[in-house]
Structure 1
């Protein structure tokens, strides 16, 4: 089921929150392209857009974590790599089976549901780390 962006997904880092909203929009676009059965080529283009968007977003997050010396960076990188592997599997399924309801549901699981879990579990940890940095006075951060 498509879920809309909600303030509960906000981690308090404006640039990253904006990108998360864009990620939601890209997930919706992917789901709709599959459900509209616009053809494998159109869906492949939307998947490529999703990959490019994820690469830019993950680079932003990873740079942010490095700048703030986040200790969980290595584990976070593993999560990002896993996302790309799942996206590749989705592409393979698209080429083998074409657009279908099952593929659309998997696309939501891989993109939107993964993102929601990732924000709640992983991204919130580095946001809390940055907030703690600000309170301790080591590196003030406006979030």
Structure 2
């Protein structure tokens, strides 16, 4: 599965849009590695790059929402926390070589990323625009 970052995924917040595009590109790289039969490289890339990038991005996003006094920050933070828990729950199995856990985590990231950006993240972009902050 390859996803293209397009206007449907833009929040209008340059830093967040760049980070979302980077995350999509990283996940696309995993998909390309899998397509070319490089399962071990795909798993390593996910464990060593994507898991930490997701954490960095979520922290940056929460800091941005805090900086603009986004009224739905706590609700958004809780959504992030559920996602973090789900991914972190799978990491030990991935570390021990459980390919099924890896595919679950990858699927979780793809589904969550697209739905979360397109629906939830766009709201803080709209708020920032309405307040003249971007």
Query: Taking structure 2 as the reference length, what is the TM-score of the superposition?
Result: 0.81
Q: Tell me how far 1:103 sits from its aligned partner.
A: 4.4
Q: CA RMSD in A?
A: 2.5
Count of equivalent residues: 133
Answer with 1 or 2: which has the greater Rg. Answer: 1
- Return the TM-score normalized by structure 1: 0.77
Matched, 1:71 2:90: no
Distance 1:42 1:117 in 2: 23
**What are the Cα deviations for residues 36-64 of structure 1, in whole angstroms up to 9, with x where unaligned?**
3443x861452231121112211221111
**Structure 2 residue ranges without an equivalent (≥5):** none
Alignment correspondent of 1:133: 131
How far is 1:72 from its partner? 0.8
CA gap of 1:72–1:84, structure 2 versus 1, over 3 A, is same
**1:33-112 superposed matches below 5 A:** 33-34=33-34, 36-39=37-40, 43-95=43-95, 98-99=98-99, 103-104=102-103, 106-112=104-110
Q: 1:8 to 1:74 in 2, by over 3 A?
A: same
Gaps of 5+ in 1: 135-140
